[in-house]
Amino acid sequence: MKNSKKLLAFLAVFMLSGTNMLMAQTATGDAAAKPGVNWLSVSFYILLFVVVAVVIAIIGRILRVYELSQQIRGKKGIQWNNIMGICCLIFLVAGMSAAYWDFTNQGSMSLPEAASKHGVRIDEMFLVTTIITMIVFVLTQILLFTFLFRYKHSEKRRAYFYPHNNTIEKVWTIIPAIVLTILVIFGFFTWQDVENSADVKGQPASINVDITGHQFAWEIRYAGPDGILGKKDFRLTAGANKLGIDFKDKNSMDDLQADTLVLPVNKTIRLNIFAQDVIHSVYMPHFRVQQNAVPGLPTFFKFTPTITTDEMRRKVDDPKFEYLLYCNKICGSSHYNMQRVVRVVTQDEYNQWVARLKPYLTPALRTELKLASADQNKSITQNKLALNN
């Protein structure tokens, strides 16, 4: 009975790992565009697993035999409690060194310098949370493993039965509750500030930019000289009208399309975010901006870039540096292609760049929508006048 249970468990583990390998193989197979499964490598890993399991079993048996022989000779067997105690200390030192290595080595791979107003505040929040949780982490780990070592089983003493203490319960419930509440409230106000949609009086009005995600690119639309983006309606999406712009709205006529997201420094930008097929996500790590692009649910993000691309190039000592906008949802096979260059420039440079943008309403789109061009309008009116006469 006992044996059959073991056998079943072993079979379950075997099948589980086998399936995992198979799935991993299929995925890599797809990526390399090679059909089929590499059975050779699947069987290699299964074999490796079996060998490791057998080696562990053999070591276990050898130790058991050693213990029994010691017992027969009337000696004490292996002092497992001491071994476990020392293992705890080793675990503490190894774990702490690994955590330290993680911070010093991988730390540089975390977020780059914040290049937006609210980004600096978000970083402060990250820092405060990290410091508080690190203090708790280090203290609790040291206490846990030192106690495990110090108070391991000993025949010289009996364990003290100490099931309950209300004071301790209160301390370790109330202190974390207060700390977490402060962190959450702090975060709540920061978030409210970031998401605040109202333009602040006295400050320059925000620049409105539409960004629409689809498989697999971002479309960018700027407001024309009127500063207002025209209405959109997904039902109008057809042919050259990729974004479904409603040209019955006069504000749409002068809207512009762009390949790059160019932003003037120290101006509030309102990024209106749309998606046409699946959920995408606008992610600009330098500006600490991340917002989902959800089909049927327009979202937006307001932020103020504070460092121009040129300044950042000097700071990071890389003349080719560019801010980037990524898609942060794995939205399909060419998800990695969803990238746009974001360039932060001075107001003058921005004005020059906007002046060069092409209108969204191209001649082709005009014909498609049977919209009369300005010249045609004139001739139609003249014709009408002629007819009336």
Per CB under 5 A, residues contacting Cu ion are 280, 327, 331, 338
Would you state the structure tokens that stand for residue 189, as one six-digit string?
Answer: 């106000």
Query: Which residue, 245 or 331, has its beta carbon nearer to Cu ion?
Result: 331
Query: Which residue, 92 or 217, has its beta carbon nearer to Cu ion?
Result: 217
- CB of residue 150 to Cu ion, shortest distance in Å: 53
Query: Which residue, 331 or 361, has its beta carbon nearer to Cu ion?
Result: 331
- CB of residue 323 to Cu ion, shortest distance in Å: 18
- CB of residue 320 to Cu ion, shortest distance in Å: 25
- CB of residue 119 to Cu ion, shortest distance in Å: 23
- Please tell me the distance from the alpha carbon of residue 283 to that of residue 336, in angstroms, as a whole number: 13
Tell me the residue length of the chain: 389
- CB of residue 329 to Cu ion, shortest distance in Å: 5
- Please tell me the distance from the alpha carbon of residue 184 to that of residue 125, in angstroms, as a whole number: 10
Q: Are 329 and 279 in contact (CB under 8 A)?
A: yes
Whether the upstream peptide bond of residue 216 has omega within 30° of 0, thus cis, is: yes
Query: Which residue, 149 or 283, has its beta carbon nearer to Cu ion?
Result: 283
- DSSP 3-state helix, strand, coil percentages of the chain (rounded to 5)? 55, 15, 30
- CB of residue 337 to Cu ion, shortest distance in Å: 9
Query: Which residue, 114 or 338, has its beta carbon nearer to Cu ion?
Result: 338
Query: Which residue, 121 or 280, has its beta carbon nearer to Cu ion?
Result: 280
Query: Which residue, 87 or 297, has its beta carbon nearer to Cu ion?
Result: 297
Burial class for 295, CB neighbours closer than 10 Å (0-12, 13-18, 19+): middle
Read off the amino acid at residue 140: T
Q: Are 275 and 212 in contact (CB under 8 A)?
A: yes
- CB of residue 289 to Cu ion, shortest distance in Å: 15
Query: Which residue, 21 or 289, has its beta carbon nearer to Cu ion?
Result: 289
Q: Are 250 and 264 in contact (CB under 8 A)?
A: no
- CB of residue 300 to Cu ion, shortest distance in Å: 18
Query: Which residue, 307 or 331, has its beta carbon nearer to Cu ion?
Result: 331
Cα first-last separation, the chain: 108
- CB of residue 336 to Cu ion, shortest distance in Å: 9
Would you state the structure tokens that stand for residue 300, as one six-digit string?
Answer: 């937006």
Q: Any alpha helices (H) in 197-327, and if so which ranges?
A: 309-316
Cα–Cα distances (Å) from 57 to 4, 12, 52, 338, in that order, read 17, 17, 9, 50
Q: Any alpha helices (H) in the chain, and if so which ranges?
A: 2-31, 39-72, 80-101, 117-150, 166-195, 309-316, 347-356, 363-368, 374-388
